[in-house]
Amino acid sequence: MPPYLLGLRLGGRRVLVVGGGRVAQRRVPALLAAGAAVVLVSPQVTASLEGLIEAGRLEWRPRRYERGDCAGAWLVQAVTDDAKVNAAVVAEAEAARIWAVRADDAESSPAWTPASGQAGDATVGVLLGGDPRRAAGIRDAVVDGLRSGGLESRHSRRKPAGVALVGGGPGDPGLITVRGRQLLAMADVVVTDRLAPGSLLDELADDVEVIDAAKIPYGRTVTQERINDHLVEQAGQGKFVVRLKGGDPFVFGRGGEEALHCARHGIPVIVVPGITSAVAVPSAAGIPVTHRGVAQEFHVVSAHVPPGHAESTVDWEALGRANGTLVLLMAVERMALIAAALMRYGRSSDTPVAVIQDGTLPGQRTLTATLGSVAGEMAAAGVRPPAIVVVGDVVGVAREIELIRADMGRDP
């Protein structure tokens, strides 16, 4: 007969876990997240469980199971690798009328732990006759559908109020966060910019209004003031507005300005961080912005105005003296002036430089040069925005990786 599925509210209630191996490592964090007072009985524990114990998240009794351990528990998990011990734990729990889960033998287990997942405020649990792999597969399909909005109508969902500032990531639509995609599926209005993943707009319902707030370098642009007004006007009409941006809304994305404007007009704001292109694009090109023994720091710089400009707040002299990695955004048109300033203040002309155009997108390409030659090589190659410039010895790490792969691919 089918099991009766039940959601247990374990806040403050004692749960006994017998066993400290990989199964316990999976189950204990979920029990703690539910607020359970976990008591763990096991002679040894995994490193992850040890970290939770040291943080005071649970009580550990470093010994083997003893009869009487189940006393006072609301739920028992028997997850050792010893069938006899698991059977003894379940027998004691049954005698005390305490629900118990036996990890090694589904048929002998009074209760089963469902494959569970979270999508917003929905908790999904799947039981499939004691087959955990199939249950997990169905769980994943349902959770993915809920997270993308595909399983639930926009109009049946409880929408947030006001404005959500959503970071869309560096370009690849698969790199937007789960939370960002959830909120996008709920939107009545989407205010998008040029660097936001455009293919995500095709997933929107037909009645969602899309407002183009693109800022094209040296071309047509929508002022920031007008964008701010769009947010307040649309949210003021009771619509849920998603401001979809490239990268992270608070990393050179003017998200702070938009949040302030909404706050001044009494509009609630949700901020959903995004994967910033300053780190993601170098990573996509195989360049770590930090690397042991090479760079212990990195600086992210907006180069929308050149060194020496009255509006620049960047200390180019300090960056020229520094040894860390420089990640330059909006630098394409000013690279000659930037390179000259960095060399003037101490950076060697031989410093490696990488320029990654259209990072994480199918057309991604990387140009490598030196600080002394990069401006000329960028001009010759026709590099155009959006592009990220990385200055520093970490550029050589990507080359080293390529050489190792090439060597491994050669016939002996």
Of the candidates 69, 172, 188, 193, the residue annotated as catalytic is 193
Give me the residues paired with residue 38 across strands: 15
Q: CB 101: neighbour CB atoms within 10 A?
A: 22
Burial 108-128 (b: 16+ CB within 10 A, else e): ebebbbbbbbebbeeebebbb
Q: Is 215 a catalytic residue?
A: yes
CA atoms of 269 and 254, how far apart (whole Å):
14
Q: Would you mind telling me the total number of residues written for the chain in this entry? A: 412
- At 370, which helix (H) or strand (E)? strand 365-370
Give me the residues paired with residue 326 across strands: 299, 391
Burial 129-165 (b: 16+ CB within 10 A, else e): eeebeebbeebeebbeebbbbeebebeebeebebbbb
Least Cα distance to 280 among 210, 218, 329 occurs for 329
Q: Write the DSSP symbol of residue 247.
A: B
Sign of CA dihedral 20, 23, 25, 28: negative
CA atoms of 190 and 192, how far apart (whole Å):
6
Q: How large is the greatest C-alpha to C-alpha distance in the chain, in angstroms?
A: 81
Of the candidates 215, 315, 358, 393, the residue annotated as catalytic is 215
Instruction: Pinpoint the alpha helices (H) of 149-301.
Output: 178-186, 224-236, 255-264, 277-284
SS3 content of the chain, % helix, strand, coil (to 5): 35, 20, 45
Q: Which of helix, strand or coil describes residue 160?
A: coil
What is the phi-psi region of residue 118: left when phi exceeds 0, alpha when psi lies from -120 to 50, beta otherwise? Answer: beta
CB 100 within 8 A of CB 86: no
Q: Which of helix, strand or coil describes residue 122?
A: strand
Instruction: Catalogue the active-site residues.
Output: 193, 215
